[in-house]
Chains A and B, each alone.
Chain A
């Protein structure tokens, strides 16, 4: 490993990226757009649920029930009195997200202390949203109509008492955007030289595989760290994400993590022949990594086998680490093993990329 050779190859790589304005713009713009858009779009919080009310009771008691739902701010009434046959059509056309039916005799039953029920039909097309609507309605109905109970449950939401969804999502989004751009850039980098013919020229020089891979890794690693840093600043300044734990830990982990992510990109680049192939393989890997990272859907929701498989997913570990440190304030004692594990994975993947590099043709 000659440092001068690596330096010269790195200089070439950096010059190439910075001389290609479209690529440069995309490298800088895609992550930022993704951060801003996803941070705002990635939420299940649909605001007030659009509710259609069919009140067959028409009493002060039934009106009070509706008023309670609306008063909570979680529901808004978009219409009333629908014939039973139309309920389904209303839901199908998304004219309302849920339909509340209060049966005749509701007030009378309540007055007599008899059990009675109101019915809520929810458009469950989007399961997660439907679940949240159900939870909200249950809490309100029970609070309003429940008999005084001797049980008092004092709820405390730790780490995110204001329940801001951005606090949870933005650190994860930052990981995803850094990963996407870094992996795609590295996956293309070697195949591009294969296609252009410049790799053949390099292959007849004394450059070693190790020097070659190191020089391919470091510039993109620098770019990805730069994107990560800018992203973290934007997340803090624009989205006011919490930084409960030590930010240096996050940086240390990012440095180690990126060696894994970019190592995978380089490995893809060594085993594919064209940029098109490299891009598809990279995209495939990204899709699996991101979907199974716990970024968009809770890890706990995955079956046990999938959770076990997910342990091989570096994105899952880094997303978890970011959230643990930034949101929950975890320290080195908690996340140290993860960083070490990522380091081992990085060394393994880069070793694989070096081994797969061919200085000869097949």
Chain B
């Protein structure tokens, strides 16, 4: 029996009096595409930051890729990939230089970096632009490149924080194809989004409202739980339920 890729128990983060993430408990199986939904400010990014070791939890436990985020963040970092909301590769380096930098940081050999780079750049059809400064790439390509860099070292789990923010529908589609391909290789994907149509692509998803998980399961299960026929309605019902009283 394999351990889950991500497992949290009552994971909580407080900022002063404000509870950004309120005792969330979830489990993500290996190879799953897990969606993290919620309105802006619902606590998605804070939760992710705790899972990748950027932010210490105030309470609760979390294990990612077999390592405890609180006691062994170094191991967690080695085994995961991360793509942040903000594009965060080096603008003034070329595609190749960025890939080489991160490849080396993750301890890949030169030969591995070379073969991985060829493979990943082909996958996003960026091979011809490998010596272009990242600054000069269109946003959609930049985002795809960031995803590839996050996957460079074949992480066990990859965290994507709103990877499709601000890109056109065609690129978004491409993105999801890439995400599926990644999951097919056995990498667990945790992705946050506020596009509800994207949530349908996930194996399972959770909807966060005000720091809590309001619903969790496969898209069909979530719709059934709330008793409506589309995720749009799920979302509206859940957020209104909290806002109303």
- Report whether B102 and A200 are in contact in the complex, using a CB–CB cutoff of 8 Å: no
Contact of A12 among B54, B56, B101 (CB under 8 A): B101
- A301-313 Cβ-contact flags toward B at 8 Å (1 or 0): 0000000000000
- B100-125 Cβ-contact flags toward A at 8 Å (1 or 0): 11101111000000000000000000
- What is the bound-complex CA distance between A44 and B39, given in angstroms? 68
Interface residues of B in 177-191 (CB under 8 A from A): none
- B118-134 Cβ-contact flags toward A at 8 Å (1 or 0): 00000000000000010
- Report whether A204 and B101 are in contact in the complex, using a CB–CB cutoff of 8 Å: no
Contact of A204 among B80, B89, B91, B92 (CB under 8 A): B80
* Chain B nearest CB, measured from A10 CB (Å): 10
- Report whether B105 and A9 are in contact in the complex, using a CB–CB cutoff of 8 Å: yes
- Report whether B86 and A206 are in contact in the complex, using a CB–CB cutoff of 8 Å: no
Closest to A20 in B: B92
Q: Which 3 A-B pairs have the closest CB atoms?
A: A8-B104, A197-B86, A201-B88
* Chain A nearest CB, measured from B197 CB (Å): 27
Which chain A residues border B80 with CB–CB below 8 Å? 204
B interface, CB within 8 angstroms of A: 49, 52-56, 73-74, 77-78, 80, 82, 84, 86-93, 97, 100-102, 104-107, 133
Q: Could you show 19 A-B contacts with beta carbons less than 8 Å apart?
A: A2-B107, A4-B104, A5-B105, A5-B107, A7-B104, A9-B105, A12-B101, A15-B92, A196-B91, A197-B87, A197-B88, A200-B54, A203-B54, A204-B52, A204-B82, A206-B107, A359-B53, A360-B53, A360-B56
- Report whether B55 and A360 are in contact in the complex, using a CB–CB cutoff of 8 Å: yes
Given contacts A15-B97, A197-B84, contact A205 B89 (CB under 8 A): no
* Chain B nearest CB, measured from A1 CB (Å): 13
- Report whether A204 and B74 are in contact in the complex, using a CB–CB cutoff of 8 Å: no
Contact of A360 among B54, B91, B133 (CB under 8 A): B54
Give 7 new A-B contacts, CB below 8 A, not counting A12-B101, A201-B84, A206-B106.
A8-B104, A15-B92, A15-B97, A19-B133, A204-B82, A359-B53, A361-B55
Which chain B residues border A8 with CB–CB below 8 Å? 100-101, 104-105
Which chain B residues border A204 with CB–CB below 8 Å? 52-54, 77, 80, 82
Cβ-based interface call for A297 (8 A): no
- What is the bound-complex CA distance between A4 and B113, given in angstroms? 13
- Report whether B87 and A16 are in contact in the complex, using a CB–CB cutoff of 8 Å: no
Interface residues of A in 3-40 (CB under 8 A from B): 4-5, 7-9, 11-12, 15-16, 19-20
- Report whether B101 and A16 are in contact in the complex, using a CB–CB cutoff of 8 Å: no
- What is the bound-complex CA distance between A197 and B102, given in angstroms? 15
Which chain B residues border A202 with CB–CB below 8 Å? 105
* Chain B nearest CB, measured from A201 CB (Å): 4
